[in-house]
Amino acid sequence: MPEPINTWLKKSWERSRMYNVDPAVARDAILGASEFKQYREQKEAFLREIKPTLERLANWLKSSGSVVVICDTAGYILKSMGDPVFLNETKKIHVVEGACWSEQVRGTNSAGTVIVEQKPLAVVGREHYLEENHILYCAASPIFDPHGRLLAVLNVSGYHEKYHPHILGMVDVIAREIEDRILIHRSDKQILISLYPEHKQNQQALLAVNHDGVLTGTNREAREMLQLDKSTIGNVHLSELISDVQRLLQRHGKICSNDIFALQDKTKEQSRWMASVLIDMRPHFNAPLEKRNSKQATSLRTPCTFANLYGNDRSFQTAIHLAKKAAATDYTILITGESGTGKDMVSQAIHQASLRSGKPFVAINCGAVTKSLLESELFGYEAGAFTGAKQSGHPGKFELAHGGTLFLDEIAEMPPEMQVALLRVLQDFTITRVGGTKPIRVDVRIIAATHTDLWKKVQDGSFRADLFYRLQGIHITLPPLRKRSDRLEIARFLLRNIQEELQKETLSLSPAAERLIENYAWPGNIRQLTGALREAAFLADSSMIDLVHFPSYILSDYTPHVNKHVSSLKQLENHAIMETLQKTGGNISQTARILGIGRNTLYRKLKKI
Ligand SMILES: Nc1ncnc2c1ncn2[C@@H]1O[C@H](COP(=O)(O)OP(=O)(O)OP(=O)(O)O)[C@@H](O)[C@H]1O
């Protein structure tokens, strides 16, 4: 066997020996069909996010003797697509979904070794530790989430004689594109900033920042360029990295701004960045802030009232009727509803309509902070309570909300110890700061919200029953968008706001776009609809928004209703068009090519669907 030359390769071979992998006999590690089905279900959301890119890539590889493979961080193949002949021939060496390709199981191979090395690399022919893998080349790149944590490995494989170093470059570029896409999709309510060094425009950092100005996600370039590590994300204000960010964070009034700002790097005196706002998804009622400070956050919020909430659907109106009645009381309120159904907005509207409206509205996401941080965030801390605590101590959200309302979002995520502490506060409305002894009385109305079935959590023992009963003084349930009868009206209402944001003429929806809005499942509810309409409005050249302007991940998930019994020729044609559009991940040129029609004809036909 040849001695590996690269350092990482050498180390990987050493590890393979250490794991007692036998080069001549492969270990058998494949999940059974039902086990794999269950296993993959947990990764479904991620696979949906990357589906359009994977399908597009697989289409290119289809007749090239190569395949694209996605492995998770344990090395299991979650998805393999591409040349069917290659896939069939390599079944015997476990290039199949559910097989484990970790180094512990199969020795040196690109997916397993990327999991350890966390960098793009290719393993070609005899560089593989297992002899049966010598027929292969594998080029793989890590896919990191916006926090810089490994999410999965993207791998392209084929027969080793077909390998060319370009393939690794291509895999790396696609993995980074997937990461950017994930960053954009997961940055709801954030402002997305693009940043590049003054004299080097071929590198583009992307930063997601929340309305407080705190960094919530980055792409790989940003982490490399700004030398950020995982712990900084979620804990650093943009102004700690770059000077004069206020200009950048001020509201631009439209989703994309062409303004480019020259900003100074705070850590390196000589470096200057060129920055621009790529997308501003901050809710329209939140003002950007210079510093992360809940006091300011409270005072600068432009309040959301019941007038901002659109709803003509019976069950939504029932919920709002209850919310208005609840506003007049001081009862604790529990709001449930899927993500994006308006829980945050309703809680603000309740506060505004209550006698507490002149006082602070303070929100905290119980699932977004660690257990130890949640305690000091809620109850505050005294000077010197822990390493890194401020000299002067710090008031918690309860104190900051004194006289007003405290919104506990994602309450189901609250750790058990904190549930006990919260229950205690709800009994006597007295808190003690971390590291302190003095009890402080607080006058706060609590509104809690969750997207999960809290009662189920009580039944499975992960949420305290006594706290559950305390919280649901009044229980408001918001319906999911797919069950609302006013979907089209909401879309038109949202479009009017988007029109203003984009400074466009009156925007309208084509009949096909209207049918999409009516029939698509909208798992992300009003938030997802808003995002999709923004993207569509942005892409539409005229004032008419059509099906093709919607994001491809929605089109590839959408099946327009076809009557299976009385299919007219037209219905069959529509079905074929939508099915092909799904298969190509919403790619118009490819769809037209497959159907054998021109792009313009396809556009024309899509308008009539
Ligand atoms: N009734 C409504 N009328 C107009 N816009 C709405 C309505 N409900 C929600 N929205 C829009 O949907 C977005 C999501 O709403 P909100 O943040 O209140 O949802 P949520 O249920 O709190 O979501 P999550 O559980 O993910 O935090 C808002 O930014 C707002 O633009």
Q: What amino acid occupies position 363?
A: A
Compute the distance from residue 545 Cα to the ligand 1 centre, in Å: 22
Query: pLDDT tens digits for 519-534?
Result: 999 988 999 999 889 8
Are residues 535 and 549 in contact, defined by beta-carbon separation less than 8 angstroms? yes
Alpha-carbon dihedral 39, 40, 43, 44, rounded to 10 degrees: -140
Q: What percent of the chain has pLDDT over 90?
A: 48
Question: How much is the average pLDDT of 433-441?
Answer: 90
Please state, in angstroms and rounded to a whole number, the distance separating the CA atoms of residues 36 and 130.
24
Q: What is the pLDDT of residue 293?
A: 36
Compute the distance from residue 472 Cα to the ligand 1 centre, in Å: 21
**Mutation to probe ligand 1, out of 324, 341, 351, 451 (largest number of atoms < 8 A from CB):** 341
Are residues 169 and 122 in contact, defined by beta-carbon separation less than 8 angstroms? no
Compute the distance from residue 329 Cα to the ligand 1 centre, in Å: 23
Are residues 151 and 145 in contact, defined by beta-carbon separation less than 8 angstroms? yes
Q: Residue 323 above 90 pLDDT?
A: yes
pTM: 0.54
Answer with the residue of higher pLDDT: 68 or 561. 68
Among protein residues, the one whose CA lies closest to atom 13 of ligand 1: 527
Please state, in angstroms and rounded to a whole number, the distance separating the CA atoms of residues 509 and 497.
14
Tokens of 113: 């070794």
Flag the least confident range among 221-225, 273-277, 484-488, 511-515: 273-277
Residue 101 — pLDDT band, cuts 50, 70, 90? very high
Q: What is the pLDDT of residue 559?
A: 67
Q: Residue 123 above 60 pLDDT?
A: yes
Q: Residue 564 above 60 pLDDT?
A: no
Among protein residues, the one whose CA lies closest to atom 28 of ligand 1: 527
Cβ-in-10-Å burial (0-12, 13-18, 19+) of 512 comes to buried
342 lines ligand 1 (CB under 6 A): yes
Q: Which of 66, 68, 70 is nearest to 83 (CA)?
A: 66
Cα 66 to its chain centre, rounded Å, is: 30
Query: pLDDT tens digits for 132-178?
Result: 999 999 999 999 999 898 999 999 999 999 999 999 999 999 999 89
Q: Residue 202 above 80 pLDDT?
A: no
Query: pLDDT tens digits for 580-599?
Result: 887 777 778 888 887 878 77
282 lines ligand 1 (CB under 6 A): no
Ligand 1 atom closest to the CA of 346, numbered from 1: 18
Answer with the residue of higher pLDDT: 137 or 576. 137
For 250, other C-beta atoms within 10 Å of its C-beta total: 12
Q: Residue 432 above 80 pLDDT?
A: yes
Among protein residues, the one whose CA lies closest to atom 8 of ligand 1: 342
Most confident option among 52-56, 287-291, 498-502: 52-56
* Sheet (strand 121-124) strand order: 77-82, 66-72, 150-159, 136-144, 121-124
Query: pLDDT tens digits for 440-499?
Result: 999 999 999 999 999 999 999 999 999 999 998 899 999 999 999 999 999 999 999 888
Q: Which domains does the chain have, with CATH numbers?
A: 7-177 (3.30.450.40), 191-280 (3.30.450), 294-477 (3.40.50.300), 484-608 (1.10.8.60)
Q: What amino acid occupies position 444?
A: V
Compute the distance from residue 279 Cα to the ligand 1 centre, in Å: 18
Q: Which residues share a beta bridge with 22?
A: 25
Q: What is the pLDDT of residue 120?
A: 96
Compute the distance from residue 335 Cα to the ligand 1 centre, in Å: 12
Q: What 8-state DSSP symbol labels residue 606?
A: H
Query: pLDDT tens digits for 5-32?
Result: 679 999 999 999 999 999 998 887 888 8
Tokens of 319: 């919920």
Query: pLDDT tens digits for 326-381?
Result: 999 999 999 999 999 999 999 999 999 999 998 999 999 887 767 777 888 899 88
Are residues 213 and 296 in contact, defined by beta-carbon separation less than 8 angstroms? no
Q: What is the pLDDT of residue 291?
A: 31
Q: What 8-state DSSP symbol labels residue 250?
A: S
524 lines ligand 1 (CB under 6 A): no
Most confident option among 197-211, 262-276, 400-414, 576-590: 400-414
Q: What amino acid occupies position 199?
A: H
549 lines ligand 1 (CB under 6 A): no
Q: What is the pLDDT of residue 131?
A: 95
311 lines ligand 1 (CB under 6 A): yes
Among protein residues, the one whose CA lies closest to atom 15 of ligand 1: 342
Please state, in angstroms and rounded to a whole number, the distance separating the CA atoms of residues 199 and 27.
51
Answer with the residue of higher pLDDT: 563 or 100. 100
Residue 187 — pLDDT band, cuts 50, 70, 90? confident
Ligand 1 atom closest to the CA of 451, numbered from 1: 25
Q: What is the pLDDT of residue 412?
A: 94
Q: CA distances (Å), 536 to each of 36, 259, 530, 549, in order?
A: 37, 22, 10, 4
Q: What 8-state DSSP symbol labels residue 324?
A: H
Residue 299 — pLDDT band, cuts 50, 70, 90? very low
Q: Residue 110 above 90 pLDDT?
A: yes
Question: How much is the average pLDDT of 387-398?
Answer: 71
Q: Residue 289 above 60 pLDDT?
A: no
The chain-wide mean pLDDT, for the chain, equals 84
Compute the distance from residue 350 Cα to the ligand 1 centre, in Å: 14
344 lines ligand 1 (CB under 6 A): yes
Q: What is the pLDDT of residue 387?
A: 53
Exposure of 286 in the CB half-sphere (CA atoms within 13 A): 23
* SS3 of residue 302 by DSSP: coil
Strands 66-72 and 405-409: unpaired
Answer with the residue of higher pLDDT: 383 or 461. 461
Are residues 474 and 346 in contact, defined by beta-carbon separation less than 8 angstroms? no
Please state, in angstroms and rounded to a whole number, the distance separating the CA atoms of residues 82 and 340.
36
Q: Residue 2 above 60 pLDDT?
A: no
Q: What is the pLDDT of residue 457?
A: 92
Q: What is the pLDDT of residue 261?
A: 65
340 lines ligand 1 (CB under 6 A): yes
